[in-house]
């Protein structure tokens, strides 16, 4: 039959052949080009624009793009005022035998406050905080603070890879202080110096030393766009990003907005919204995990689902509910009472590090963290009065329907690395993450650690970030 | 063949009756001990001691110092009360509190009604007890227990008490004269807080039951809203022979039945089918907005208080500004949800700042915010609809005053699933969650007409006392 067709084609007179062949060739070529182009064309998140300063945006003024050096300072007055408030703290005795089941145990809180009042040295901590260079710059009408650490020494032929690391709530840039040296100076810490970074840790606007937005609507998309502008201002066209908690949402948005700038995305927490498919996967996964792409470790972490996930989440998301609806009310007292602020923030460092800490009288706080480090993080919220704006971020982000939000349907195509820590609030198996993250190159089950990965297990996290880079760059 | 069918049916009916009969169990009265440490061997002191609220210069100076050093956060532009209590207006409230509010004078107002304390199950229980100043010939006062909620206190009843104990002087019919008992829920105001975990609404009901017996009342009426609704409901469940009538200004149904779910989906289109009146439909639908969305937006506080009361209450017990913002936000939003769109939260439209701040002081002075919040964990910490009493009905004659701006509307057809003997269900023309505080006349009138109906069925027995 084929012979017959060839024969009939060959037998055509010249004009007939070209009439058929030429358009056919064009058609085939066109299809090929279309196919090639469609493979390149990834849907991206619209960047948009914003203005977060007071009042109206000045019409013609061009923004001051200078990057100014910044040092965190304190005064005797500030410390005295803090001490005076701690001295007048009013406690309520806990119920008998409840440990941390009703929240932060006030008997232990008194010990924390006593340490804070008598031993914690804020001036000394500030020296530690200032050991890395700090800067501020104005973007979209507000001052954005960031830490920028370059490698102390770099060998010939090596380039420091820029890495943007974004914190969450109730954390801060300070959470990265232990991991930064492992990333900028691996050789000095017994690690291979094939991968060296220069690290940029900004403060999310509304947190710490970044100015709080004055306008409504500042969500993770706005933060992502601002951080893109920051990196561009610093001269980086391509960089890596890392995040957990809000940092995870923000860095994911960054990858969705400008995938060509994001060389690699590393996350220690994955937010994934549900759907019918996931429900089915959940139900079946309890009996035939392999059928729905769940590994044994996934099963161990997910089931019993109701207990480990639904009840746990309900039990631990009261703060999220009130912050997403009445942030100004919830934060009001915390901005006025340092001991209230400490209880509220440190409760998370207890429970989100290990759920069993709820059964301990001291919340297991000092098992993984030093009191100095914990209180330094609290001080960042206290001295900047940023607890209320930090809570508003919840309302701005959680007010809309997650299924219709602009970033809901946009896939993430940049090479992604996911570090799944065992004590994280909610476990996300690789098979679920794949729905959003189309290019997972690293997925690691971490042996230990909870929500505050960089703070609690800097070595493990650094290792995983470096592994991602090696995979991306084929090292 | 017919015989088999008949036998099966008969068996089925017998089983059904047997099963439904089981539901007639009453809620057992618990014997609790909530004091510190071990329960002592000796008998509890049952004396009723007079009590007066007092204040000192030191207490006032400490409060003023804290108000003076308050740290506020500027609100977002054009946010009014939509992000919570607006801090620009909060500054005004704090300034009033610092400079014009006269706590000493308010203490005198508080003390104008006789107050007492007595020890029950290891806790010092505080209560207000107001008898009518004068009674007409041959008449007796009906005892009425009124229970407050969160973030309220006994002070919420100060405007309605005179209307109930002395109706004639207020231009009302004196057909029913009451002597009113308003206890503070243990953990609230001047009532001692439980030292043991597990103190829930049933425990409070048991304590109030013992209180009424101790005061010599064997039959009484009970009235409540917010937690008072639940405690009085439990009281009617544990001691139905003692509660002559149960009056509620708030009703909540915690076990969702299939018919209720169906009524949510179809009630707008077939109201008659589900027993909905026009007013029910007006208040409940569109359900997404008025029901689901309202629940999500307004229950953040309940969620965090039901899981981490000690954390959230901690700062509020240390910062009077934070405490005022947290409490007064409810007096704004739960009085009228539209108040969120106002820069001042509409607070002073229905209440005076003196009254509002006196209520706040009843949390500040005794330092009871944390223990007050723990009540949420004890009651709903394990989930809504999980407790035994939630599945038991109420057979005592019940009256419901349904206020239009209550946070969630419960139609009579739903309430009837639990309250099997509703003899009065009235839509109030105006008012919100804090009924006694905001619309004392309306509430007093409804209580009066409810009691009238109860008495018609069963006149007040003199020998019962």
What confidence score (pLDDT) does residue B107 get? 98
Q: Sign of torsion, CA B458 B461 B464 B465?
A: positive
Window 347-406 of A, Cβ < 8 Å to B: 347, 385, 387-389, 392, 395
A380 CB neighbour count, 10 Å cutoff: 23
Domain range list for chain A: 81-474
- Mean pLDDT, chain B, integer: 92
* CATH class entry, domain B59-255+286-462: alpha beta
Mutation site for B-interface testing, chosen from A333, A351, A357, A390 by largest number of B Cβ within 10 Å: A333
Tabulate helix, strand, coil % of chain B (nearest 5): 45, 10, 40
Phi, psi of A166, deg, nearest 5: -115, 130
Whole-number Å distance between alpha carbons of B4 and B435:
58
Q: Which helix (H) or strand (E) holds B51?
A: strand B48-51
The answer to whether the CB atoms of B90 and A54 lie below 8 A apart is: no
Give tens-digit pLDDT for A403-442. 777 787 899 999 999 999 999 988 899 999 999 999 999 9
Cβ-based burial of B109 (10 A; exposed 0-12, middle 13-18, buried ≥19) = middle
At residue B464, the pLDDT reads 40
- Catalytic residue numbers of B, as ranges: 226, 376, 433
Least confident of A156-160, B174-178, B305-309, B312-316: A156-160
Question: Cβ contacts of residue A28 below 8 Å, gap of 6+?
Answer: none
> Cβ–Cβ of B71/A330 closer than 8 Å?
no
Place of tokens 């469609």: A38
Q: Which two tokens stand for residue A267?
A: 């996350």
- The answer to whether residue A104 neighbours chain B at the CB level (below 8 Å) is yes
Show residues of chain A in contact with B78, CB under 8 Å.
216
Q: Is A93:B187 a contact under the CB 8 Å cutoff? A: no
CA–CA dist A180, B65 (Å, integer): 43
CB contact under 8 Å between B83 and A328, yes or no, is yes
Which residue numbers of A are catalytic?
245, 394, 451
- CA A175 remoteness from chain centre: 12
Query: CA torsion B121→B122→B124→B126, rounded to 10°?
Result: -20
- Please give the Cα distance from A20 to B292 (Å, whole number): 64
Write out chain B residues lying below 8 Å of A94, CB-based: 310
- CA atoms B161, B165, B169, B171: torsion sign: positive
Instruction: Say if CB A205 and CB A144 are below 8 A apart.
Output: yes
Lowest mean pLDDT: which of A20-34, A196-210, B31-45? A20-34
Q: What is the CATH T-level fold of the domain A81-474, as seen in this structure?
A: Rossmann fold (3.40.50)
Residues B114-132 have a mean pLDDT of 97
pLDDT of residue B465: 39
% chain A with pLDDT above 90:
72
pLDDT of residue B42: 87
| Low-confidence winner among A33-37, A325-329, A394-398, B259-263 (lowest mean pLDDT) | A33-37
The answer, yes or no, to whether residue B462 has pLDDT greater than 50, is: no
Least Cα distance to A261 among A238, A283, A243, A241 occurs for A238
* Residue B425 predicted with pLDDT over 80: yes
Q: Does A64 touch chain B (CB under 8 A)?
A: no
Q: Please report which confidence band the pLDDT of residue A274 belongs to, taking 50, 70 and 90 as the band edges.
A: low
Instruction: Break chain B into its structural domains and give their ranges.
Output: 59-255+286-462
From the list B300, B313, B369, which residue is nearest A326 (CB)? B300
3-state class of A102 per DSSP?
A: coil
| Dihedral angle over CA of B63, B68, B71, B74, nearest 10 | 120
pLDDT (tens digit, 9 = 90+) per residue, B64-107? 999 999 999 999 999 999 999 999 999 999 999 999 999 999 99
Measure A112 CA to nearest chain B CA, in Å: 14
A57 touches chain B (CB under 8 A): no
Distance CA B143, CA A363 (A): 48
Q: Which of B95-109, B125-139, B191-205 has the lowest mean pLDDT?
A: B125-139
Task: Name the pTM for this structure.
Answer: 0.90
Q: Tell me how crowded residue B3 is: count the other CB atoms within 10 A of its CB.
A: 7
Has residue B357 got a pLDDT over 50?
yes
Comparing CB atoms, the residue among A81, A331, A343 nearest residue B314 is A343
**B318 vs A90, A212, A328: nearest CB:** A90
pLDDT at B289: 81
| Tokens 């009756």 -> residue | B17
B322 vs A340: CB contact, 8 Å cut-off?
yes
Q: Which candidate from A96, A324, A340 shows the least CB-CB separation from B315? A: A340
The whole-number average pLDDT for the span A233-237 is 97
In which band, very low, low, confident or very high, does the pLDDT at B17 lie, cut at 50, 70 and 90? low
pLDDT of residue A416: 97
Minimal C-alpha gap between A320 and chain B (Å): 8
Where are the extended beta strands (E) located within B216-264?
Answer: 220-224, 243-248
Average pLDDT across chain A, whole number: 91
List, as one string, the DSSP characters of A9-20: HHHS-HHHHHHH
Q: At what angle do helices B57-68 and B103-111 cross, to 10 degrees?
A: 130
At A275 the pLDDT is 67
Q: Can you tell me the distance from the alpha carbon of B66 to that of A445, in angstroms, rounded to the nearest whole number?
A: 49
Place of tokens 């927490």: A269
- Alpha-helix residue ranges (DSSP H) falling in B273-352: 278-284, 287, 294-298, 300-305, 309-316, 320-333, 347-350
Say how many CB pairs under 8 Å bridge A and B. 199
What is the per-residue pLDDT across A58-67, written as a single tens digit (0 to 9) for each?
887 788 899 9
The two beta strands, B220-224 and B243-248, are parallel
Nearest CA in chain B to A382: B71
Q: Least CB-CB distance to B73: which of A317, A339, A385? A: A385
**Residue A158, phi then psi, degrees to nearest 5:** -90, 150
Closest-CA residue of chain B to A329: B84
In DSSP terms, A239 is beta-bridged to: A262
Q: Is the ipTM of this complex over 0.95?
A: no
Res B50: pLDDT? 98
Report CB contact under 8 Å: A333, B321. Answer: yes
Q: Do A88 and B62 touch (CB under 8 A)?
A: yes
For residue A344, give the nearest of B85, B315, B377 by CB distance.
B315
Nearest chain B residue to A99 by CA: give it.
B310
Asked if A137 is an interface residue toward chain B (Cβ–Cβ < 8 A), one would say no
Confidence of residue A307 (pLDDT cuts 50, 70, 90): low
Q: What is the mean pLDDT of residues B363-392?
A: 92
Percent of chain B with pLDDT over 90: 75
B326 CB neighbours in chain A (<8 A) are 329-330, 332-333
| Candidate from A121-130, B154-163, B267-276 with smallest mean pLDDT | B267-276
Test B73 with A335 for CB contact under 8 angstroms: yes
Average pLDDT over residues B301-325: 97
Q: Do A335 and B194 touch (CB under 8 A)?
A: no
B72 CB neighbours in chain A (<8 A) are 332, 335
How far apart are alpha carbons B241 and B222 in whole angstroms? 13
Cβ contact, residue pair A103, B314, below 8 Å: yes
The pLDDT tens digits of the residues spanning A114-155 come to 999 999 999 999 999 999 999 999 999 999 999 999 999 877
- What are the tokens at A97? 């035998």
Would the pLDDT of A320 be above 90? Answer: yes
Inter-residue contact B217 to B464 (CB < 8 Å): no
- Scan residues 218-257 of A and list those with Cβ closer than 8 Å to B: none
**Cβ–Cβ of A318/B76 closer than 8 Å?**
no
């Amino acid at each position: 039959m084929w012979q017959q067709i060839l024969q009939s084609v060959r037998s055509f007179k010249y004009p007939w052949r070209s009439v058929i062949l030429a358009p056919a060739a064009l058609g085939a070529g066109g299809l090929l080009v279309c196919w090639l182009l469609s493979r390149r064309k990834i849907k991206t998140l619209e960047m948009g624009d914003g203005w977060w300063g007071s009042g109206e945006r000045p019409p013609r003024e061009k923004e001051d793009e200078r990057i100014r050096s910044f040092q965190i300072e304190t005064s005797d007055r500030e410390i005295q005022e803090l001490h005076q408030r701690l001295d007048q703290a009013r406690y309520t005795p806990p119920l008998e035998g409840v440990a941390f089941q009703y929240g932060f145990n006030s008997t232990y809180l008194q010990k924390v406050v006593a340490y804070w009042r008598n031993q914690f040295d804020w001036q000394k901590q500030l020296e530690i905080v200032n050991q890395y260079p700090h800067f501020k710059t104005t973007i979209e009408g507000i001052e954005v603070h960031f830490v920028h650490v370059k490698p102390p020494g770099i060998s010939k032929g090596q380039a420091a890879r820029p890495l943007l690391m974004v914190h969450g709530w109730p954390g801060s840039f300070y959470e990265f202080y232990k991991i930064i040296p492992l990333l900028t100076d691996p050789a000095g810490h017994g690690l291979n110096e094939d991968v060296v970074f220069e690290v940029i840790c900004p403060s999310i606007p509304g947190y710490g030393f970044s100015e709080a937005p004055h306008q409504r609507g500042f969500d993770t998309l706005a933060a992502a766009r601002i951080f893109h502008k920051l990196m561009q201002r610093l001269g980086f066209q391509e960089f890596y990003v890392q995040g957990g908690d809000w940092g995870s949402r923000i860095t994911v948005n960054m990858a969705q907005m400008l995938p060509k700038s994001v060389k690699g995305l590393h996350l220690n927490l994955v937010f994934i919204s549900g759907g019918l498919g996931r429900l089915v996967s959940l139900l079946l996964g309890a009996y035939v995990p392999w059928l729905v792409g769940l590994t044994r470790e996934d099963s161990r972490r997910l089931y019993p689902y109701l207990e480990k996930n639904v009840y746990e989440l309900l039990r631990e998301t009261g703060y999220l509910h009130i912050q997403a609806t009445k942030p100004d009310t919830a934060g009001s007292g915390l901005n006025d009472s340092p001991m209230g602020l400490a209880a509220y923030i440190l409760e998370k460092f207890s429970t989100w590090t290990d759920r069993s800490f709820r059964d301990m009288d001291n919340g297991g706080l000092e098992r993984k963290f030093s009191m100095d480090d914990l209180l330094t993080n609290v001080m960042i919220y206290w001295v900047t009065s940023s607890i209320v704006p930090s809570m508003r971020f919840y309302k701005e982000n959680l007010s809309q329907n997650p299924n219709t939000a602009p970033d809901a349907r946009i896939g993430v195509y940049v090479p992604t690395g996911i570090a799944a820590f065992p004590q994280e609030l909610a476990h996300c198996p690789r098979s679920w993450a794949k729905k959003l993250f189309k290019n997972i190159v690293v997925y690691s089950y971490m042996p230990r650690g909870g929500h505050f990965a960089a703070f609690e297990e800097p070595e493990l996290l650094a290792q995983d970030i470096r592994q991602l880079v090696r995979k991306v760059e084929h090292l | 063949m017919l015989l088999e069918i008949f036998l099966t049916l008969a068996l089925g009916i017998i089983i059904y009756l047997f099963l439904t009969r089981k539901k007639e169990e009453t809620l057992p009265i618990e014997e609790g001990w909530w004091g510190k440490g071990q329960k002592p061997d000796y008998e509890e002191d049952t004396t009723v001691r007079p009590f007066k609220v007092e204040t000192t210069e030191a207490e006032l100076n400490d409060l003023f110092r804290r108000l003076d050093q308050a740290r506020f956060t500027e609100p977002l532009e054009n946010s009014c009360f939509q992000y919570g209590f607006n801090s620009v207006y909060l500054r005004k409230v704090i300034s009033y509190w610092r400079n014009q509010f006269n706590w000493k004078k308010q203490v005198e107002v508080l003390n104008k009604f006789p107050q007492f304390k007595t020890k029950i199950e290891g806790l010092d229980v505080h209560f207000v007890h107001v008898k009518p100043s004068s009674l007409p010939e041959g008449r007796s006062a009906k005892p009425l227990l009124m229970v407050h909620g969160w973030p309220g206190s006994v002070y919420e009843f100060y405007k309605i008490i005179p209307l109930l104990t002395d109706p004639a002087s207020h231009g009302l019919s004196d057909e029913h004269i009451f002597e009113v008992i308003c206890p503070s829920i243990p953990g609230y105001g001047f009532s001692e807080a439980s030292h043991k975990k597990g103190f829930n609404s049933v425990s409070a009901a048991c304590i109030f039951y013992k209180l009424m017996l101790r005061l010599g009342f064997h039959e009484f009426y009970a009235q409540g809203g917010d937690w008072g609704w639940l405690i009085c409901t439990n009281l009617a469940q544990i001691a139905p022979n003692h509660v002559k009538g149960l009056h509620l200004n708030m009703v909540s149904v915690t076990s969702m039945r299939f018919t209720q779910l169906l009524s949510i989906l179809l009630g707008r289109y077939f109201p008659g089918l589900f027993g909905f009146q026009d007013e029910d439909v007006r208040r409940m639908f569109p359900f997404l907005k008025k029901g689901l969305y309202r629940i999500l937006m307004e229950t953040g506080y309940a969620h965090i208080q039901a899981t981490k009361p000690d954390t959230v209450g901690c700062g509020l017990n240390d910062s009077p500004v934070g405490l005022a913002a947290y409490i007064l936000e409810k007096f704004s939003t739960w009085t009228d949800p539209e108040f969120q769109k106002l820069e001042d939260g509409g607070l002073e439209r229905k209440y005076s700042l003196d009254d509002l701040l006196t209520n706040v002081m009843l949390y500040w002075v005794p330092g009871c915010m944390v223990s007050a919040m723990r009540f949420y964990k004890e009651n709903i910490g394990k989930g809504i609809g999980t407790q035994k009493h939630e599945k038991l009905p109420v057979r005592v004659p019940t009256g419901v005053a349904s206020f239009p701006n209550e946070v969630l509307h419960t139609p009579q057809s739903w309430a009837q699933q639990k309250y099997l003997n509703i003899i009065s269900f009235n839509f109030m023309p105006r008012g919100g969650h804090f009924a006694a505080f905001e619309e004392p006349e309306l509430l007093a009138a409804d209580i009066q007409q409810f009691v009238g109906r109860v008495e018609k069925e069963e006149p007040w027995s003199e020998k019962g006392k």
